[in-house]
Chains A and B, each alone.
Chain A
Amino acid sequence: MKFTSLLTSAAMALGLATTAMAEDKTKVGFVYVGPVGDGGWTYEHNKGRLAVEEEFGDKVETVFVESVPEGPDAERVMTQMALEGADLIFTTSFGYMDPTINVAKKFPNVKFEHATGYKTADNVSVYSARFYEGRAVQGHIAGKMTKSNTIGYIGSYPIPEVIRGINSAYVHAKKVNPDVEFKIIWAYTWFDPAKEADAASVLIEQGADVILQHTDSTAPQAAAQEAGNVITFGQASDMSEYAPFPRVSSIIDDWAPYYIARTQAVMDGTWESANTWDGIREGMVAIGEISDAVPADVKEEALALKAAMAAGEYHPFTGPLKKQDGSDWLGEGETADDGTLAGMNFYVEGLEGEIPQ
């Protein structure tokens, strides 16, 4: 029985420690869908967590659980964090939506922040990034730089988030290069580096000299490097190890400013439920350094486009735009509303192929 009593005392010490800590520290929990070592989505969220720790030092305690499957496991992990005194919990995957709402009902005093969803409550905010703004910059550079006029695009699953990115990139590539053509491959996986590598080589073999990816691994970068004359863009993280060529720029998810602001709000008691969809202006979407492989004038235009979006002067989906079937979508000067964008399930005019259903 000695061993058991040892365990008891350890557990008690632990219990006391957590209670003591809860009094003066703000406790922030993070629920991750992948491992922090995925080099992409979860990796960037974890960087946001580390930024929170750095910003607030002793005043904050962060905890995280990684590779949490969506569904009941997520619900349990959130409940556990709430029970252990978390004041604020970030749940960082779309599939955590209903679990977050369920747990939030049970803990009205704990604040929840759900990434990429659409259900809010008094103590549940949602937040997401306007990655399509970054896609606009990519599309511009891609349209200018392609010599074969063929741009390859690797998508994960046909969901609004990915379709929005394809549309945005296409609109801006087309604007600067009317002959441009998109080849789209749906990988039907969130994560399979080998398959992403295959998809990239296939696109290159079929004449693409620019590869855009909506998957997180660097496999397409390596495939492009091997091919030699193909450019790519980093996704989710900077992927600067492939700069200056083939990686000429990147879209970076920068969650740190948001995480710091929301933690601060909880500390100050000013936290309110919100629906945040931030872009380049707020710094949630960052454009990684545009390398010297891009001609100076193109780089300048791309930066100007970025600056226009940062200043709120330009919306990537500004009319006139038609849907793929030729029907009108946006009139002259009209910009897309967030509702349509959030649920986007159609291609814009000019894109070929169908969205798989």
Chain B
Amino acid sequence: MDLSEINPVLLVASLMVAATPLLLAAIGELVVEKAGVLNLGVEGMMIVGAISGFAISVETGSPWLGFIAAAIGGAVLSLLFVLLTQVALANQVASGLALTLFGLGFSALLGQGYVGVKPPSMGEIHIPVISDIPVIGPILFQHDPILYLGIALTAAVWATLKYTRVGLILRAVGENHDAAHALGYKVIKIRILAILFGGACAGLGGAYISLIRVPQWTEGMTAGVGWIALALVVFASWKPWRALLGAYLFGGITVLQLNLQAAGVAIPVEYLAMSPYIITILVLVILSADKSSAPASLGRIFHASH
């Protein structure tokens, strides 16, 4: 056992990578939930994004087009959720689960020709001088562009929710859809846009796994990240920066656990693998004192004739 072999700088840098798919999906879902909609289909949208992005970037040779396709793919799948919950007024929990089931199968069908194919590489942004600063350089300035996009999205969502009229309307719809409707806001339309945004973000997160983090295509490769993203939103009590923190914490525990193993520390792996979930529960308990955070209309069906 030799803890000195764990390089904290590299640990932080790699946990940022591990956290990015989670963060992207969670930020999208956060907006959806802020609008008062609970979409449990994150895993399904992620995996569809993963294959759409993979297929398009292999076909075109451009990872950028791949990521755009992933966002579109995720959004198109979320359109099904829109049809079910916003048009047909079906139950959101069941619709989300059905969406995941459908997405897993659909992505596998789409991906049949892409097993064992290597996607084009996106490369890292390497800015001379600042990328080479010790410690800060590897942590902050030696990553792929999508990782920065994740952080930028977090900032944008935070600013939009907090300072803009759009954010205000979105929150109003999520807090009390009847009141928002009475004020003349188009509840359904706003929710549809939020769901589409969530789908696009989940798609990006999925493509981050299939194009950057792994990069390959195999069926079911998101392996449950979508579910953790759902937990993360609540963990973050619907606050974007806390989602970022939470994503790093989740990613960090996994990376740290692997680091400890590699350093030869005899840890009970299965108990450490449980720890992110147990910590989430503990944080939930602590945060539950703060009742103001959950959107009041979360998961409730809205119909104008009420």
Contact = CB atoms under 8 A, between A and B. Distances in A.
Contact of B115 (A37, A189, A192, A242): A37
A332 interface: no
A353 B7 CA distance: 20
A202 B11 CA distance: 8
B218 A193 contact: yes
Interface string B12-26: 001001100100000
Q: How large is the interface on A (under 10, 10 to 19, 20 to 34, 35 or more residues)?
A: 35 or more
B223 A43 contact: no
A183 B259 CA distance: 10
Contacts of B5: 206-207
B223 A195 contact: yes
A191 interface: yes
B258 A198 contact: yes
B264 A353 contact: yes
A174 to B, nearest CB: 17
B137 interface: no
A71 B272 CA distance: 28
Nearest to A356: B269
A100 interface: no
Contacts of B262: 152, 183-185, 199, 202-203, 206, 208
A336 interface: no
A35 B219 contact: yes
Contacts of B221: 193-194, 217
A133 B221 CA distance: 30
Interface stretch (B146-154, B209-217, B277-285): B209-217
B264 A183 contact: yes
Given A206-B5, A206-B263, A191 B223 contact: yes
A198 B118 CA distance: 18
Contacts of B134: none
A193 B214 contact: yes
A284 to B, nearest CB: 21
Contacts of A184: 261-262
Interface string B263-274: 110101110010
Contacts of B213: 194, 197, 219
Interface residues of B, number: 42
B117 A241 contact: yes
B220 interface: yes
Contacts, number: 115
Contacts of B115: 37-39, 43
A73 interface: no
Contact of B118 (A183, A199, A241): A241
A-side binding surface: helix, strand, loop or mixed? mixed
B223 A185 contact: no
A219 B255 CA distance: 15
Interface in A4-54: 34-35, 37-40, 43
B254 A195 contact: yes
Contact of A194 (B112, B118, B225, B270): B225
Contacts of B261: 184-186
Contacts of A37: 108, 111-112, 115, 218-219
Contacts of B112: 37
B128 interface: no
Given A35-B219, A197-B214, A353-B264, A188 B254 contact: no
Contacts of A92: none
Interface of B: 5-7, 10-11, 14, 17-18, 21, 108, 111-112, 115-118, 209, 213-216, 218-225, 254-255, 258-259, 261-264, 266, 268-270, 273
Interface of A: 34-35, 37-40, 43, 152, 183-186, 188-189, 191-199, 201-203, 205-208, 217-219, 222, 237, 241-242, 352-354, 356
Which 4 pairs from chain A and chain B are nearest by CB? Answer: A205-B10, A192-B223, A193-B214, A35-B219
